[in-house]
Amino acid sequence: MKRVEVLNHKGREIVYIDFSNFEIKDYDEFKATIEDAKNVVKNFPPNSAYTLVNFTNLRFSTQFLAELKELTFHNKPYVKNGAVFGVQGLQKVVFDAVMRITGRDLPILNSKEEGLDWLSEV
Question: For 33-70, how does the pLDDT look when each residue is reduced to its tens digit (9 = 90+)?
Answer: 999 999 999 999 999 999 999 999 998 788 888 898 89
Q: Which residues contact 7 (CB under 8 A, 6 or more apart)?
A: 13, 14, 15, 16, 52, 116
pTM of this structure:
0.92
pLDDT attached to residue 14 = 98
Percentage of residues of the chain with pLDDT beyond 90: 71
Mean pLDDT, all residues of the chain: 92
Alpha helices in 15-111 (DSSP H): 27-41, 62-75, 90-102
pLDDT of 93 above 80: yes
pLDDT of 24 above 90: no
Radius of gyration of the chain (CA): 13
